[in-house]
C-alpha cells in the first residue's frame, strides 16, 4: 500500500528545530489542561479528521490539519517544520493509521511531546486485513468507524476540559445524528441495488460501496497496483477495461487525487461506454464539511445507479 511519505530531507530540516512536548495513547496519557489560549490544541493528519474534530469542539478547540489541500495527493506529502512545531505543542493528535499517515508517528517521535493524547482511527475501528492480506485504511468512508472516532474525540476533550462537557456532548450527538441519516440513505440504496456490479480505481470509497451492498468487480491486482503506485500488468488492465466494454458495471468510482495513464485508460473506457463516473477524493474538498462531502458522494452514487 502506498503511504504518505516523509522525505529524509524534510526530516533533516525538522531535526534542527527546537521542540518541546509529544504523544502517548489515550489509555496511558494523563489529561492536559487547556492551552495558553484557553482552547484545546488539536492536530489532525488530514482535514477530514480535522473538520470532525473542529465540529465537536466548536470554539473550545483550535484545530490544524497537516494535509489540507484538496489538489494534493496525500501520498506525496512532504513534512515541514511548521507541522512539526504544531505537533510538539498538540494536546490531541488525530491520525488515520493503518499505514496511511505514518509520517505523524515519525514526527511525534522527533517532537518529544509526552503529554499529548493520540487517537488512531484505524485502531479505533478494529478493522483487520482482508483475505488478500490488505487493510483498507480509508476508514472515513465507513460511517460506524467515524461515529466511534467521534465518541473517542468527545471523551478526550471532556477529559482535558471538563467544563466543556455539555458543548462536546451536544456537538458530537448532532454530528452523529447527521451520520445516522447518511447510514439510512445507504440502507435504502441497498434494498434496491444490492449485488449490482461497480468498479473502482482504488479502494478509497470501498466501505461506502460495501455498505450499499454493491459488488466490486475490479480485478484486485488492478486496484492494488494503482494504490501502490506500480504498473498494472497488461492482461489485468485489459480485464478491467472489459468491465466497461461489456457493461458489467453500473459505475466507476474514480479517485481524482491519484491519476495516471492506466487510470485514464479505465476512465476513457467508462466514458466511451456511457458508464457513469463518480469522482471521489481522499481529503475534504474546498468549501465542504465532512457531512456535506459525504452527502455529495452518496447523492452521486444514487444518481449513477439510477441510470
What's the pLDDT tens digit per position in 215-241? Answer: 999 999 999 999 999 999 999 999 999
In a domain, 188, yes or no: no
Partners of 266 in the β-ladder: none
From 180, 212, 227, give the residue that closes a domain.
180
Domain identity same for 205 and 228: yes
Residue 16: domain span: 8-180
Q: Give the pLDDT score at 22.
A: 30
Pick the more confident residue, 22 or 258: 258
Q: Give the pLDDT score at 111.
A: 85
The pLDDT confidence band at residue 78, using thresholds 50, 70 and 90, is: confident
Q: Total structural domains in the chain?
A: 2
pLDDT 10s digits, 106-161? 888 888 888 899 999 999 999 999 888 899 999 999 999 999 999 999 999 999 99
Q: Give the pLDDT score at 68.
A: 85
In a domain, 189, yes or no: no
* Torsion angles phi and psi, residue 103, rounded to 5: -60, -25
Q: Give the pLDDT score at 73.
A: 63
From 135, 153, 180, give the residue that closes a domain.
180
Q: CA 48, CA 56: separation in Å to the nearest integer?
A: 13
What is the average pLDDT score of the chain? 88
Domain identity same for 118 and 259: no
Domain identity same for 43 and 151: yes
pLDDT 10s digits, 292-302? 999 999 999 99
Domain identity same for 255 and 137: no
From 156, 180, 204, give the residue that closes a domain.
180
Domain identity same for 215 and 274: yes
Domain identity same for 166 and 27: yes
Q: DSSP H helical segments within the chain, as ranges? A: 8-14, 47-57, 81-89, 102-111, 121-125, 143-160, 165-193, 206-211, 220-228, 234-245, 261-272, 290-306
Q: Give the pLDDT score at 20.
A: 31
Q: Give the pLDDT score at 110.
A: 87
Whether 5 has a pLDDT exceeding 70, the answer reads no
pTM score, whole prediction: 0.89
In a domain, 74, yes or no: yes
Domain identity same for 81 and 175: yes
Cβ partners under 8 Å of residue 165, min gap 6: 158
Amino acid at each position: 500500500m502506498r503511504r504518505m511519505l516523509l522525505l529524509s530531507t524534510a526530516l533533516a530540516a525538522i531535526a534542527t528545530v527546537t521542540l518541546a512536548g509529544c504523544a502517548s495513547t489515550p489509555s496511558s496519557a494523563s489529561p492536559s489542561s487547556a492551552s495558553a489560549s484557553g482552547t484545546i490544541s488539536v492536530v489532525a493528519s488530514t482535514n477530514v479528521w480535522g473538520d470532525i474534530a473542529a465540529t465537536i469542539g466548536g470554539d473550545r478547540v483550535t484545530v490544524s490539519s497537516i494535509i489540507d489541500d484538496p489538489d494534493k495527493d496525500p501520498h506525496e506529502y512532504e513534512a515541514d517544520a511548521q507541522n512539526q512545531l504544531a505537533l510538539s505543542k498538540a494536546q490531541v493528535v488525530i491520525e488515520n493509521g493503518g499505514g496511511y499517515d505514518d509520517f505523524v508517528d515519525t514526527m511525534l517521535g522527533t517532537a518529544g511531546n509526552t503529554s499529548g493524547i493520540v487517537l488512531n482511527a484505524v485502531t479505533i475501528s478494529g478493522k483487520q486485513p482482508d483475505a488478500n492480506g490488505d487493510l483498507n485504511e480509508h476508514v472515513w468512508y465507513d460511517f460506524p468507524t467515524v461515529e466511534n472516532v467521534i465518541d473517542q474525540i468527545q471523551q478526550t476533550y471532556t477529559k482535558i476540559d471538563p467544563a466543556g462537557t455539555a458543548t462536546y456532548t451536544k456537538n458530537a450527538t448532532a454530528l452523529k445524528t447527521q451520520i445516522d441519516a447518511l447510514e439510512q440513505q445507504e440502507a435504502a440504496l441497498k434494498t434496491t441495488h444490492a449485488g449490482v456490479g461497480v468498479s473502482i480505481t482504488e479502494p478509497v470509497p470501498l466501505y461506502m460501496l460495501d455498505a450499499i451492498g454493491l459488488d466490486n468487480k475490479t480485478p484486485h491486482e488492478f486496484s492494488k497496483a494503482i494504490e501502490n503506485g506500480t504498473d498494472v500488468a497488461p492482461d489485468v488492465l485489459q480485464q478491467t477495461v472489459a468491465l466497461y466494454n461489456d457493461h458489467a458495471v453500473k459505475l466507476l468510482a474514480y479517485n481524482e487525487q491519484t491519476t495516471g495513464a492506466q487510470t485514464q485508460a479505465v476512465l476513457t473506457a467508462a466514458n466511451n461506454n456511457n458508464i457513469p463516473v463518480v469522482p471521489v477524493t481522499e481529503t475534504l474538498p474546498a468549501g465542504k464539511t465532512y457531512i456535506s462531502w459525504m452527502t455529495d458522494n452518496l447523492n452521486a452514487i444514487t444518481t449513477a445507479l439510477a441510470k
